[in-house]
Structure 1
Amino acid sequence: MKDLGRQIAYWDTVGAEKTFTHPVNLDWLATVSRQARILDYGCGYGRVMAELSEHGFSDVSGVDLSLALIARGRQLHPDLRLAVLDSPPSLPYPPTSFDVVVLFAVLTCIPDDDAQRALIAEVVRVLTPGGLLYVSDMVLQDDERNRSRYATHVQQFKTPYGVFATDDGAVVRHHDITELHALLPDFDLTEERQISVVTMNGHPSRAVQLLARKR
């Protein structure tokens, strides 16, 4: 159960072929300058970056810990700025480098409380005052299959409720919404919406999106 925040072996093999589906609500970014500096942290193969670029955002960067996902993204979108994150959660940028940071289905891939807090602290560091954080992530599911997986993992590994292992070997986390709120003490929440998504393994699930402004 060590190094749950990275799981590089999974994302460089099985995970590198997944399809990610969390939708971008462009209305939330309607007032953001098309020249805003945007970072997609955990960008995968650049799906969200490509959508932002297609809608006129001209300064979009992405980082991910998976060399395989970044290679896939460079093949699909050779015009995008994609980089491998060598020492997560640390970013190779000075403070206040970005006006917007996007975290799409990233916290679900970081089951450990301390690792999540470290990631958010790094996001706070690189965001300009008044900058936006756009989070899309998984919430606790109430079906029997997921409740059983949560309970099994708690009993076996003493992880937070909501952590479980997928059938193909990833360890992921679904959140109580209050847990996500608690991760953002340096932000003012401006928007929140519940959404339905299809997971990377093809299961219909509930998720939440948050838009928050750095104080």
Structure 2
Amino acid sequence: MNLLHNRLCKSARWFETVEHHLLPWALDGVALGPRLLEIGPGFGATTRVLARGTHDITVVEVNPGLADRLRGNVPGNVTVLEGDGAAMPLPATGFDSVVCFTMLHHVPSAAQQDRLFAEARRVLAPGGVFAGSDSLPTPRFRLLHIGDVMVPLDPATLPQRLERAGFTGIAVEVRSNRLRFRATAG
């Protein structure tokens, strides 16, 4: 992430936005269950909120520095793993839910995003839910990502991509400059 984006993602303002706006909307009506996996927690704003409502959280963070930082800043019910969400060192069917928030556009290609979707499906127990959100490109969003990886999701094609990964019950909704999705492991 560039310096401005990095600064924003670790700001108190972003943490407040995540807690009071992003997560309530993204997870409205989603039952996470006791075994939760979060892919790409970054600075941990979402992780800290999620940790309050579940017994066991595992997070997978690809950036070694952020993974180390998380280890020192998360509650005791959170296990932090350094790894790639598209090739996770986790057993199949071990989680009731998998979530990711505002990070998929940082995955360097649509093919890599599809591998992440397939991995999310692999680690979910039958009937488990995959849910999350991401930003859609706006002029401000593009400015914030100058010099960053930015591969936005297309809400029109996301359902087919999730279906190819093995999900059913897929829902994608757009509100303003964000999308949320949820799908079930068949």
Q: TM-score, normalised by structure 1?
A: 0.68
Write the distance in 1 (CA, Å) between the matches of 2:151 and 2:169.
22
Q: Given that residues 5 and 145 in structure 2 are in contact (C-alpha distance below 8 angstroms), is that contact kept between their aligned partners in structure 1? A: no
Unaligned 5+ segments in structure 1 are: 1-9, 150-163, 197-205
Partner of residue 180 from structure 1, selected from 158, 163, 167: 158
**Could you tell me which residue of structure 2 aligns to residue 41 of structure 1?**
39
Write the distance in 2 (CA, Å) between the matches of 1:179 and 1:75.
38
- What is the aligned residue count? 172
Partner of residue 145 from structure 2, selected from 151, 166, 178: 166
When structure 1 is superposed on structure 2, of 123-132 and 176-185 the one drifting more is: 176-185
Write the distance in 2 (CA, Å) between the matches of 1:67 and 1:109.
15
Structure 1 residues 195 and 69 mapped into 2: Cα distance closer, same or farther (>3 Å)? farther
Matches within 5 A, 1:1-215: 10=1, 17-19=7-9, 21-22=17-18, 23-25=22-24, 26-29=27-30, 31-33=31-33, 36-55=34-53, 57-79=54-76, 80-85=78-83, 87-141=84-138, 166-167=145-146, 169-185=147-163, 186-189=166-169, 191-196=171-176, 206-215=177-186
Q: Classify the secondary structure of the residue corresponding to 1:171.
A: coil
Structure 1 residues 15 and 91 mapped into 2: Cα distance closer, same or farther (>3 Å)? farther
Write the distance in 2 (CA, Å) between the matches of 1:69 and 1:15.
14
Deviation at residue 83 of structure 1 after TM alignment = 1.6
Q: Given that residues 138 and 173 in structure 1 are in contact (C-alpha distance below 8 angstroms), is that contact kept between their aligned partners in structure 2? A: no
Write the distance in 2 (CA, Å) between the matches of 1:83 and 1:192.
28
Identical pairs, percent? 27
The alignment's C-alpha RMSD in Å is 2.7
Q: TM-score, normalised by structure 2?
A: 0.78
Write the distance in 2 (CA, Å) between the matches of 1:195 and 1:61.
28
Write the distance in 1 (CA, Å) between the matches of 2:135 and 2:40.
15
**CA offsets, 1:162-205, max 9 Å, x none?**
xx9923x2121223211222221122245544345xxxxxxxxx
**Of Structure 1 and Structure 2, which has the larger fraction of its residues in helix?**
2
The list of structure 1 runs, each at least 4 consecutive aligned residues, that deviate by more than 6 angstroms after superposition, is: none
Bigger radius of gyration: 1
**CA offsets, 1:92-150, max 9 Å, x none?**
11110111000112221124121111111111111111110012012344x5x77xx6x
Write the distance in 2 (CA, Å) between the matches of 1:32 and 1:105.
18
